[in-house]
Structure 1
Amino acid sequence: MARPFLAICAVTLAWAGCSGDIGDGNKKPDDQEVPGLVTVGEGTMHRLNVTEYRNTVSDLLHSSLDPAANFPADDIGLGFDNIASILTVSPLQVELYERAATDLAEEALAIPQNASLRHVEAESLSGSVGSANGSGWNLTSNGEITTQVTLDADGDYVLSARVYGQQAGPDPARASLLVDGLEVGTFDVPEDANNPAIITQSTTMTAGNHTVGVAFLNDYYMPPDDRNLVVDWIELEGPLGQVGVNPTREEIVFCDIVDPVCREDVLTTFATRAWRRPATADEVAGLEGLVQLALDQGDDVNEGLELAVKAVLLSSHFIFRPELDDDPTSPLPHTITAYELASRLSYFLWSSMPDEILLEAAASGELDTNEGVAKQVQRMLAHDRASALVDNFAGQWLLIRALDNHVPDYATFAGYDDTLKESLRTEMRMFFAEYLKGELPMNEMLTAGFTFLNDRLATHYGIPFEGGAELEKVSLEGNDERFGLLTMGSLLTVTSLPTRTSPVKRGVWVLENLLCDGPPAPPPGVEALLEAEMTATSLRERLAQHRADPACASCHNLMDPIGLGLEHYDGIGAFRTQEAGGATIDSSSELDGMGAFQGARDMAELLQDDPRFSTCLLEKLFIYALGRDADKEDEAQLELMNERLAEADYRLPAAIEILATSIPFRMRRGAQEEETKP
């Protein structure tokens, strides 16, 4: 392992900053002229969030480790955890990145050790008590016999010894196997010299020097009776399970790294993959300098390479997704490089790094054209990694992730358990994934005539079902209680309070996430105040009392009707006709500017016909894809994208392709300097 001060050198090199000169792959394509009068919103350098870091190290190193599990949770902004402006870096995170890079580099470059057997005859050793008896060592009283071993690798080992007892007294001889003075296994040894026993214990050990042996635990001496323990031999076998090659090392180290020319190729290739664009000669020279520094300090070339790989993983070019401006203060939009575009695509669709095909498309110029980008989008959506859109876009937009942190009150909702929760989660995931296929217009999500059910969920919904535990696509035609997004139990559950429904939370979610027209944040404690001060019997009447306050009416006149339209669904999404207190539920109301409705289906149709709905779907994708809000500079482009989406019949893959080929996705600008006031 590289010495600590060399590790400091690696950190220093890695965080030296982003150079403006990062290779030909980061030049604007010559044939991409900046259109006149085009404006795009301002972007911020984007740190990989926890999910993106986890996926990236998995795809880059095929690692079994998950260092991101120890990272602080990312902050949420605009409904998502990938918003660049709030993905800051704290001193603690830098320390955690350093630990992660160390562990990942060690695992990736580990040289597998074939299991070896270390066998020692006990009579060749010297125990703490007793003496050699010709065929072993006789421990004549409580004591131990040990030997020193040096292990080349961490891993699982098997410690064994052949022993027998010279029996006396009421109990058999008792022995323990020792590693570094600690008992790792204890055994009764009733066997004698005619039938010795082999005692065995598996144990995990680290590389380095260790002491292993056998201890005699229960001496007995009452002449002429004398209990002793005889040790014939001691064996240590391992490490186990490491026979063969380390595939990640084979991928990184593809030639003899003792040769400087090979080493340069290895460092160039790895840094290029990790940084998602070509590494420059100067950058590779800096990494080679770390290898040479390790060699100068007496370490071997593998330890030097490990240090360089660690520096790559600590680099701001790995931890961030740098997009550099020739003039960071210029508000003039410019086309991002092909490699920057490849990263935008991969982290949008896969929440991970570009694959080799996408990087080759960047290198060949394919991504310089909208046709080339569209081709890659279609390929990437067909890849298994596109499930990241379900996990991370839909998972946050449709609150699927929020199920993990929502705990309904058991006394109120005794039927809610982990099986139901997972069924609710999977239903919503499969529902969104159905639209990713491109066969359905996504602006019909609110009245969709299908869902996905298993036996548990069908019982919860009161829908006849003949299947089992696996969720299956089921038609909802003719069902007036279940239809589309708004009647799915997962969404209804997480927009409720632990003990009851919350028309306010449900209304706010619809306004913010389906119409992109959310109300301002309420004063603290308003929900509790509603509970404490309202005297009416039904929730509808209590909300009406609340709206009577002019200070509350403007917002609640928008939120409450939507929430009341969903009141037939309780706090875990089950259909009902009465509130818990016995009041009959009335789910009719009127949406501001849209008209009256008689229940959830009528309301869903009104919302679906609102032009804000289709626009909002595109805006949510825009925010997630670019990791920033849509600025006023983006409004004209969003209007154009929405027109194109209407022509494509609102298919989700078309929306993604339209966004990926849009000017805001392919361009960026610097931050205009504010004038200093005199």
Structure 2
Amino acid sequence: MLRVFVLVAGLFLAPSARGAEDLTALLKTNCLACHDATSPSGQLNLSALPLHPTDPRNAEVWVRIHDRVQSGEMPPKDGDPITPSDRTALLRVINEAITTEEERQTKAQGRATRRRLNRIEFENTLRDLLDAPWLPIRSILPEDAVAHGYNKVGDALDVSHVQMARYLEAADRALNGVVVERPQSPEVPIRKYYAREQSSFARKMTFSQFNTAPERAAFPVMGYTAQPKVRDGTEPMSVGAADPVARELEGIGLVQGAYEPVEPKFDQFRAPASGRYKLRIMAHSAWVGPNGSNHNLKNPKAMSPKWFIPNLDDVSAGRRSEPVTIYAEMPPRQLRRLGAFDVQPEAGIHELEVDLLAGETIRPDASRFFRSRPGETRWQNPLAEADGQPGVVYRWLEVEGPIHEIWPPRGHQLLFGDLPIRLPPGSKKKSQSVEIVSTDHQADATRLLKQFVERAYRRPVPESEQLRFLPVIQQQLALGVSFREAMIAGYTAVLCSPEFTTCHSEPGPLDDFALASRLSYFLINSEPDAELRAVAKTGRLRDPQVLRQQTQRLLDDPRRDRFVTSFIDYWLDQRKILNNSPDAGLYGDYYLDDWLTDSALEETRLYFTEMLTGNLPVRNVIDSDFTFANERLAIHYGLPAMEGTTLRKVMLPPDSVRGGLLTQASILTVTANGTTTSPVVRGAWVMDRILGKTPPKPPPVPAVEPDLRGATTIREQLAKHRNQVSCNGCHAQIDPPGFALESFDIAGGFRTRYRALAEKETRVAGLARSGQPLQFKEALPVDASGQLATGESFQDITQFKKLLLADERQLARNLVGQFTVYSTGAPVRFSDRPAIESILNEAAANGYRTADLIHALVQSPLFLNK
């Protein structure tokens, strides 16, 4: 069949199969009847498709043909069957043709294209090289292209003139950022910033034009006691330095979270320089009494509006802890999350060690509290009770830093060694740019440049290459530029050279230094550290035992979190979680809920880290008896009550629908659009990211529009869509996983009915995160049942998980494939499949454990060769 087919197609091959006449007959009776030029089923015309593996698109089609024949999907069940011997012959010919071509390409150029560092890797590398973990490099560089799901694939990481210009800017900023600005080590100041003295706090407390409602006003307290006279302006805002004991007890409280225009911040503090700081915040929770009576807890609609208005002169100690998130803020409103803690009813100091950028200030946010939106004139606090509502009181912020372990810092020493530092002659400003004193420019420039290149490049460097950029420095000096600026120019050239910006290796086996780089950029997303470099220098890194030890060391290193974050940001699309905000009408209970978003992201990161460090079986991708949760997620998931913001490992109830990745809030959020859920989108995502079976691109047919009135379900709408012949084949594969996840809404909350927008009289009772009444009604019931293309049926997500767990090898095959793309910068090709199966064979006995899969991959030819 294949031989005649290939001759007709115009490409002469030498198939290894025997019996050309039988194959020809099989093609005519089982293939061309459906896949000819007249009426090509699935838009596949086999009569005009040569087997031409040098063409990537052609090879991709033939791989799909191979896989469908191998799986038994083709010929279809209602057609004439193909004999086992003919199937074997057909698969062998396709296999040999594609594998031969891919092996030829590998021999000529390697399976992975030489690639540049993506912007995350470039930032991490500069931070580690210059020992400056705060360097803001990523935002300077253009977004990286994504291919095969990742931003690490060489074919997609081109180098344009724009890229080079941004490299120059980033390198120059990084280098100048680590040069000291004073000769002597500065004293590390410890400064205290009292809440009463911050304009943002005081503005809220004195009812500015933006804040005339008590529901979101700030209020003064002394210790745990309200201060009505301070609030009404008859007493001064603060006792000030005249009474230091009382000053320590002064605080400002809030019953609302931070959101425009209620934006409390310690705005008298601005980080004087980028670097490491210790923040200490004195705060406590509070209870604010009500302003009204006739309260009816059982019927929220009957409550008097006064019940929600706080009496800001009736304040006492809190009744529970309150989670507080701390942000760095760069005007205007550029927020960066630094950490979180729980303030208790007893006033206490909470410390965070953080990296700050010059000019950033500190904003606290009571994570649990409601957020009113600008333009709305009426709010009701969802946390209010009959006798009051919770609040948080901030007393002061203490800042220590920037902190330097040594002086000059290591980054400066890398650039200028022990050369003297002095202020320009006649300068009286201690903070003015310093001069680097060199009495022999040629000798110092040569010595320093050689040292820098040896450290910056990730391989041994010949002396001629060490001094390649010395003319850049010499030219700058000849123009009268200072020694400092001339050296920065030379170092910038080094950091923009291909030897620094690319992962360089020749086709064939990786040498020890290239292997060290590949391992390091895999597991810590940065350059090899000192130990890995030292092992590479001995020439023993390719030794299996040594390589395994170094792999495990990096898996145990806290810097492994860079890998976890970057890997799942792309594998599981976690980076897209903020792309779609929850609809304020349909999902007001999620709108403005940063605490839920942050907790959901952290859950998935901690969960995958547990799989990695605990070497858990791959079945945990689908299901488990544990997850990581805090108070917010416990409420969201219906778990036993918890208190506090810190996520911890929790065992799930036996009847829980949670467990595994599929039912985590972050996954369900990134596979929805903020307004509706689509079984097609979620189903295709599960097929691609979890099962490793990427669906084909959809044909050009109209999309299914959501029905926000709730008159029809998405299943009913898809039923009409699937009746189209061009759609049904793919939807039979895609829709079932999506249907199984229909029990979860756009933020991963469990549901039995859909939501629809409603008039006031039919809305569900309750308050949104914004303090406004909810705007939706319960609509039609959810049906989470389905039938796989292979015939197995399920009624809900629990049964669906069991069906997926019937093939753990495919789950492991997908995860190894994801690791392979991420670590080597190249997709898994057809000819790579035997190596993948070898890895799976090695890990099968122990249940395909996660770290075992990584170890087996690192030891495989896929990883050890370019």
* TM-score higher than 0.5: yes
Q: Please point out which of 163, 188, 200 is paired with 1:93.
A: 163
1:417-496 superposed matches below 5 A? 417-496=593-672
Match of 2:323 in 1: none
Secondary structure in 2 aligned to 1:367? coil
Alignment of 1:249 with 2:425, yes or no, is no
Look at both structures and tell me which one has the larger radius of gyration over its CA atoms. Answer: 1
CA drift at 1:443: 2.5
Aligned counterpart for 1:586 among listed residues 779, 783, 796: 783
Residue 61 of structure 1 is matched in structure 2 by 130
How far off is 1:513 after superposition? Answer: 0.9
Pairs within 5 Å for 1:510-525: 510-523=686-699
Cα distance in 1 between the residues matched to 2:403 and 2:794: 66
Tell me if the contact between 1:483 and 1:601 (Cα under 8 Å) persists in the aligned partners.
Answer: no
Counterpart of 2:797 in structure 1 is 600
Q: Distance in 1 between matches of 2:403 and 2:750?
A: 54
Deviations 1:539-589 (A, max 9, x none): 222222211111110111111111111111111111111222532222121
SS of the residue corresponding to residue 579 of structure 1 reads: strand
Picking from 738, 741, 747, the partner of 1:572 is 747
How far does residue 532 in structure 1 lie from its aligned partner after superposition? Answer: 8.1
For residues 296-311 of structure 1, the aligned pairs below 5 Å read 296-311=478-493
| Amino acid paired to 2:782 | I
Structure 2 CA distance for aligned equivalents of residues 250 and 533 of structure 1: 62
Which moved further from structure 2: 482-491 or 339-348?
482-491
Determine if the alignment matches structure 1 residue 335 to structure 2 residue 517.
Answer: no
Quote the Cα distance in structure 2 between the aligned partners of 1:627 and 1:87.
10
Aligned pair partner of 2:152 in 82, 94, 117: 82
Q: Do the aligned partners of 1:109 and 1:306 also contact (CA within 8 Å) in 2?
A: no
TM-aligned CA deviation for residue 638 of structure 1? 0.9
Shift of 1:37: 11
Q: Is the Cα–Cα contact under 8 Å of residues 669 and 748 in structure 2 kept in the other structure?
A: yes
Matches within 5 A, 1:7-26: none
Q: Which moved more, 1:248-257 or 1:640-649?
A: 248-257
| d(CA) in 1 for partners of 2:142, 2:413 | 33
Instruction: Give the one of 822, 839, 848 matched to 1:650.
Output: 848
Question: Is the Cα–Cα contact under 8 Å of residues 535 and 542 in structure 1 kept in the other structure?
Answer: no
CA distance in 1, matches of 2:714, 2:632: 29
Q: Which amino acid aligns with 1:497?
A: N
- 1-structure distance, mates of 2:525, 2:403: 32
TM score, norm. by length of structure 1? 0.70
Matches within 5 A, 1:105-504: 105-110=175-180, 112-113=182-183, 245-255=408-418, 263-325=445-507, 334-416=508-590, 417-504=593-680
Task: Label 1:359 to 1:525 Cα distance change in 2 as closer, same or farther (>3 A).
Answer: farther
Which position in structure 2 is the counterpart of 1:10?
none
Q: SS at the partner of 1:485?
A: coil
Q: Deviations over 1:578-607 (max 9, x none)?
A: 222532222121112261112101111111
> Structure 1 residue 499: deviation in Å?
1.4
Tell me whether 1:667 sits opposite 2:865 in the alignment.
yes
For residues 103 and 454 of structure 1, what CA distance do their matches in structure 2 show?
39
- The amino acid that maps onto 1:66 is P
Aligned sequence identity (%): 33
Decide whether aligned partners of structure 1 residues 583 and 113 sit closer, same or farther in structure 2, where only a CA change above 3 A counts: same
2-structure distance, mates of 1:265, 1:607? 61
| Relative contact order, higher structure (CA 8 A, sep 6+) | 1
CA contact (8 A) 1:420 1:456 kept: yes
Distance apart, 1:59 and its partner CA? 0.5
Structure 1 residue 114 displacement after superposition: 5.1
| Deviation sequence 1:111-164 (CA, Å, 0-9, x none) | 634599xxxxxxxxxxxxxxxxxxxxxxxxxxxxxxxxxxxxxx99xxxxxxxx
**Counterpart secondary structure, 2:577:** helix
Distance change (3 Å), C-alpha of 1:385 and 1:298: same
Seen in structure 2, the aligned counterparts of structure 1 residues 569 and 315 have a Cα distance that, compared at 3 Å, is same
Structure 1 residue 110, shift from structure 2 partner: 4.4
Distance (Å, rounded) in 2 between the aligned partners of 1:613 and 1:381: 21
CA contact (8 A) 2:707 2:713 kept: no
- SS of the aligned residue for 1:452 comes to strand
> Which deviates more, 601-610 or 99-108?
99-108
Q: Bigger CA drift: 646-655 or 315-324? A: 646-655
2:116 to 4, 25, 47: 47
- For 2:822, the equivalent position in structure 1 comes to 624
- For 1:50 and 1:115, the matched residues in 2 are separated by 32
Shift of 1:533: 14
User: Which aligned pairs between 1:628-639 and structure 2 lie closer than 5 A?
Assistant: 628-639=826-837
- Residue aligning to 1:538: 713
Deviation at 1:360, TM superposition (A): 0.8
In structure 2, the CA distance between the partners of 1:37 and 1:265, relative to structure 1 (3 Å rule), is same
In 2, distance between residues paired with 1:639 and 1:584?
43
Instruction: List per-residue Cα deviations over 1:156-188 (Å, max 9, x = no partner).
Output: 9xxxxxxxxxxxxxxxxxxxxxxxxxxxxxxxx
Alignment CA distance shift 1:244-1:351 (3 Å): closer
SS at match of 2:614: coil
- Could you tell me whether the CA contact under 8 Å between 2:117 and 2:503 is conserved in 1? yes
CA contact (8 A) 1:444 1:608 kept: no
What CA distance in whole angstroms lies between the structure 1 residues aligned with 2:562 and 2:725?
A: 44
Give the conservation status (yes or no) of the 8 Å contact 1:112–1:244.
no
- Pair 655,269 (structure 1): closer, same or farther in 2 beyond 3 Å: farther
Aligned 8 A contact 1:84 1:627 in 2: yes
1:43-93 superposed Cα distances (whole Å, 9 cap, x missing partner): 111111111111111001123431331221111211111111101122222
- Superposed CA deviations along residues 334-365 of structure 1, whole A, max 9, x for unmatched, are 21111111110111111111111111111111
Deviations 1:274-317 (A, max 9, x none): 12112221112323333333344444543332222111111111
| Paired residues of 2:572 and 2:667 also in contact (CA < 8 A) | yes
Structure 1 window deviating more from structure 2 (478-487 vs 552-561): it is 478-487
Structure 1 residues 534 and 590, CA gap change in structure 2 (3 angstroms): farther
Let me know the Cα RMSD of the aligned residues: 2.9
